[in-house]
Amino acid sequence: MKRLLSAFVLVAICATAFAQVTVTSSNYYGTGNTVRDTYVVANDLTDSVATTSIVNNPFVLDNSLRSLFEAYNMIDTAFYDEPRTEGEFTDETFSVADDNGMRMHIKVTDEKAVCLGISGALAQMGLNDDMELEFDEPMEVIEFPAALNSEKNSTAHGSYLKHISEMQNTFNAIQGGSMIYGFVTAEYDSVSIDMQVTYNSTFDEAGTLTLSGDMMLQGVYEYLRENRQYTYITNMYLHRIGGEFQNINECTLTNDLFAMYFGTATINLGEALSTMMGMNFPISSTTTTLNYWTANDNYPILEMITNANASGVKKLAVRYGENEVCVESQIISANIYPNPTTDFLNIEMEEMGEATLRIYSVNGSLVKEDVLSGSHNSINVNALGNGNYFYTISCGDKEISGKFAKN
């Protein structure tokens, strides 16, 4: 369940090459800025690397991370979506998703950023569809400009209401569940997911951060560090027909038939979900993140997702903006085939002068580099060993990245 509730973790499983995002809506990075992301994660997400082995004074981030984290995958990601024109969150500036499919809906002004609510899948709670949980009042998540030792504490609440039939599959999956479901629907008609989110943030450190290595934008940056914590408390309520909503732990059913299955004629629905599905309400989950914001511009250049006590790093993302306005399109239009290939990789692309093709192994090593020209190129990859590879094609301020397999 923690996985479901980590709603503001902005990390994807991405490692060795730049994933380019063209930001077209106003957000932390600013309208029109180019944002490049490099992601490193551990193979076993239950492990973590000690914070002290990454954070030095001054902070230095280089290719030694490849020995600390076994980077294993790269995908081209775009976290930031255009504002909605319909639904619950039409006031948002943009929305941002985590790697679990949960999405925060953010509204940004010159003074502050607020979260309007959360949307995402509720399958782990036994509901069939996605929720749109709009907060009663927007939750303030940061004020601009940030300052050392500044603090922000904010709490938001929202509820999501569905007909009880949305839980039919949940009951059908447990022993005697279809029978229980029949009795539940005779007494209850609706289910409500209630969530309270508390945000605590302190800008507790200032310093310099050095990025080095061929996979990062090199340079020295001044930063302010934000120690950010989200706490989620989620509960479930059932609405009794002709009555009121009741906490799931207070909902009971009585029928003599239950004695054959459960040894008692009266069952508590909260206890039944706990025993049969491991769903214990209320559900409490806390996530802690160290965000390194640039000191003179309001965007996070580095994010560390830590373990429960914040002593170790589980995931790490480098983010930086180039602070230059994008041209109309930053993405190269190209068709790369066949995939998988055996001998040659054909590349058809728009006419734009010379471009550079770089091919990387899964561990991030540059294994081949070629100059492309014209609209059609055929690259001999016969010398490469069988396996998966990543590629980038760049020309000026345009770039495309992807992956292919060599058989």
- Mean pLDDT value across the chain: 75
Q: Which residues contact 389 (CB under 8 A, 6 or more apart)?
A: 359, 360, 361, 362, 367, 403, 404, 405, 406
Most confident of 18-22, 142-146, 237-241, 285-289: 237-241
Residue 359 burial (CB count, 10 A): 21
**Domains assigned to the chain:** 2-325 (no CATH), 334-406 (2.60.40.3080)
Of residues 327 and 201, more confidence is placed in: 201
pLDDT, one tens digit per residue, over 258-277 is 788 778 889 898 888 788 77
CB 133 within 8 A of CB 161: no
Which stretch of 142-156, 302-316, 320-334 has the lowest confidence by average pLDDT?
320-334
Give the whole-angstrom CA distance, residue 236 versus residue 234.
7
Q: Looking at the predicted structure, is the pLDDT value of residue 286 above 80?
A: yes
Of residues 244 and 349, more confidence is placed in: 244
Tokens of 169: 């599959």
pLDDT, one tens digit per residue, over 110-131 is 788 899 998 876 655 667 677 8
Indicate the length of the chain as a whole number.
407
Percentage, residues of the chain above pLDDT 70: 72
Q: Looking at the predicted structure, is the pLDDT value of residue 77 above 70?
A: no
Q: What is the mean pLDDT of residues 177-202?
A: 90
| Band (29; pLDDT cuts 50, 70, 90) | very low
Most confident of 40-44, 271-275, 282-286: 282-286
* Residue 353 φ then ψ, to 5°: 85, -165
State residue 321's pLDDT score: 53
b/e sequence 30-52, b meaning 16+ C-beta within 10 Å? beebbbbbbbbbbeeeeebbeee
pLDDT, one tens digit per residue, over 385-405 is 888 887 878 777 666 767 788
| Band (154; pLDDT cuts 50, 70, 90) | very high
Of residues 176 and 141, more confidence is placed in: 141
Give the whole-angstrom CA distance, residue 206 versus residue 149.
9
pLDDT, one tens digit per residue, over 371-380 is 998 888 999 9
Tokens of 273: 């979900």
State residue 379's pLDDT score: 93
Beta bridge partners of 55: none
| Band (217; pLDDT cuts 50, 70, 90) | low
Q: Looking at the predicted structure, is the pLDDT value of residue 177 above 60?
A: yes
Q: Looking at the predicted structure, is the pLDDT value of residue 324 above 90?
A: no
Q: What is the mean pLDDT of residues 269-289?
A: 84
